[in-house]
């Protein structure tokens, strides 16, 4: 009797699930969900290539140095790189004296303690210091940026889908909302303190356009500092900040692949040698 009741209960539940799935499928077909403004007007990253792309790609040190300068003069006012120390810039081709000069001339000083009074203070950065965050904490960061918290950019390239092309697209994608967008979705008009950017997931972003025009930064190597150039250089620099060992990992990968190929060849030859005589019988 118990088995019969259990069978009937199971049959009822299975039937209920089938009927529910049928009704749900019918409603999805006859009354599909309306597309959202993000689905219709959000854009994928622009097709842009970098020197470090691909299995053989390597960082362009000149580009990384230009990207550092863009970060120093534009991005550092709101963002930090807490995973990067000034001495890490040696990988970009800077000498020890140049690194000391960069640290000393950084636009933000490092939090410290006054040894005479014991009170909080600031000091010039040293090569061993991490790049400082411009705000004391998240509350201060939000207070200074219309309640939007400027994130640390150490891992931003890995944290955002699209990587460096997304950063490049975001920096060069500020524009006025199209007439078609406002006609279909008038509520999508940027509010106070927001800026339209179709490459941002919600289309409106609190960060004002950081790259406002050509010549905003003067590159030491004479490269014209157009907005696309500055955006590409700082995107490459942020890629290095997120993956400073990228080139070493690629080299290790090729070495491992070569080892596996050689090992496979030796294993096959050993197999042929060991079983050659036995296969004759």
- pLDDT tens for 20-37 read 877 777 676 776 667 788
Residue 221 structural domain: 39-80+133-244
Is 196 in the same domain as 226? yes
Residue 155 predicted with pLDDT over 90: yes
6, part of any domain = no
Residue 33 has a pLDDT of: 67
Residue 254's pLDDT band (cuts 50, 70, 90):
very high
Check if the beta carbon of residue 41 is closer than 8 Å to that of residue 190: no
Residue 115 predicted with pLDDT over 70: yes
Is 162 in the same domain as 230? yes
Is 185 in the same domain as 260? no
Is 204 in the same domain as 269? no
Residue 276 has a pLDDT of: 66
Is 222 in the same domain as 277? no
How many domains does the chain contain in total?
2
10, part of any domain = no
Residue 281 predicted with pLDDT over 70: no
Residue 172 predicted with pLDDT over 80: yes
Residue 39 has a pLDDT of: 86
Q: What CATH number corresponds to the domain at position 193?
A: 1.10.760.10
Residue 248's pLDDT band (cuts 50, 70, 90):
very high
Residue 164 predicted with pLDDT over 70: yes
Mean pLDDT, residues 43-47: 93
Residue 173's pLDDT band (cuts 50, 70, 90):
very high
Mean pLDDT, residues 107-128: 86
76, part of any domain = yes
Query: Per-residue DSSP letters for the chain?
Result: -HHHHHHHHHHHHHHHHHHHHHHHHHHHHHSPPPPPHHHHH--PPP----TT-STT----HHHHHHHHHHHHHTGGGT--EEEEEGGGGGGGT--HHHHHHHHHT-SSPEEEE-TTT--EEEE---TTSEEPPSSSSHHHHHHTTTT--PPP-TTHHHHSTTHHHHHHHHHH---PPPHHHHHH-GGGS--TT-EE-TTSTTSEESS--S--STTSS--TT-----HHHHHHHHHHHHHHHH-TTHHHHHHHHHHHHHHHHHHHHHHHHHHHHHHHHHHH-
Residue 278 has a pLDDT of: 67
Residue 123 has a pLDDT of: 87
Is 146 in the same domain as 159? yes
101, part of any domain = no
234, part of any domain = yes
Is 257 in the same domain as 154? no
20, part of any domain = no
Is 223 in the same domain as 274? no
Is 197 in the same domain as 278? no
Residue 279 predicted with pLDDT over 70: no
For residue 166, give the nearest of 50, 10, 250 by alpha carbon: 50
Residue 45's pLDDT band (cuts 50, 70, 90):
very high
109, part of any domain = no
163, part of any domain = yes
Choice among 31-40, 215-224, 254-263 with the minimum mean pLDDT: 31-40
For the chain, what percent of residues have pLDDT higher than 90? Answer: 64
pLDDT tens digits, 191-211: 888 999 999 999 999 999 999
Residue 36 has a pLDDT of: 84
Is 164 in the same domain as 185? yes
What is the value of pTM for the model shown? 0.83
Is 176 in the same domain as 232? yes
Residue 25 has a pLDDT of: 77
- The β-bridge partners of 122 are 111
Is 263 in the same domain as 156? no
Mean pLDDT, residues 141-168: 92
Quick one: CA dihedral 209, 210, 215, 221, positive or negative?
negative
For 128-139, give one letter per residue: b (16+ CB within 10 A) or e: ebbbbbbbeeee
């Amino acid at each position: 009797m118990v088995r019969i009741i259990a069978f009937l209960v199971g049959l009822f539940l299975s039937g209920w699930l089938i009927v529910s799935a049928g009704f749900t499928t019918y409603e999805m077909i006859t009354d599909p969900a309306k597309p959202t403004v993000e689905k219709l007007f959000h854009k994928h990253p622009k097709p842009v290539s970098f020197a470090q792309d691909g299995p053989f790609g390597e960082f362009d040190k000149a580009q990384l140095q230009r990207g550092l300068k863009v970060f120093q003069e534009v991005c550092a006012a709101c963002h930090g790189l807490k995973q990067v120390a000034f001495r890490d810039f040696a990988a970009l081709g800077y000498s020890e004296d140049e690194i000391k000069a960069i640290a000393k001339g950084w636009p933000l000083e490092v939090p410290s303690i006054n040894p005479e009074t014991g009170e909080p203070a600031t000091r010039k950065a040293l090569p061993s210091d991490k790049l400082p965050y411009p705000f004391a904490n998240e509350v201060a960061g939000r207070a200074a940026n219309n309640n939007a918290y400027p994130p640390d950019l150490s891992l931003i390239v890995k944290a955002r889908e699209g990587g460096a092309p997304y950063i490049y697209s975001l920096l060069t994608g500020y524009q006025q909302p199209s007439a078609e967008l406002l006609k279909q979705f008038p509520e999508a008009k940027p509010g106070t303190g927001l800026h339209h950017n179709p490459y941002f997931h919600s289309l409106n972003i609190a960060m004002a356009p950081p790259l406002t025009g050509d010549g905003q930064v003067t590159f030491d190597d004479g490269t014209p500092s157009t907005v696309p150039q500055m955006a590409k250089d700082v995107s490459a620099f942020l890629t290095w900040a997120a993956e400073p060992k990228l080139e070493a990992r690629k080299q290790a990968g090729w070495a491992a692949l070569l080892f596996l190929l050689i090992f496979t060849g030796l294993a096959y030859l050993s197999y042929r040698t060991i079983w050659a005589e036995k296969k004759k019988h």
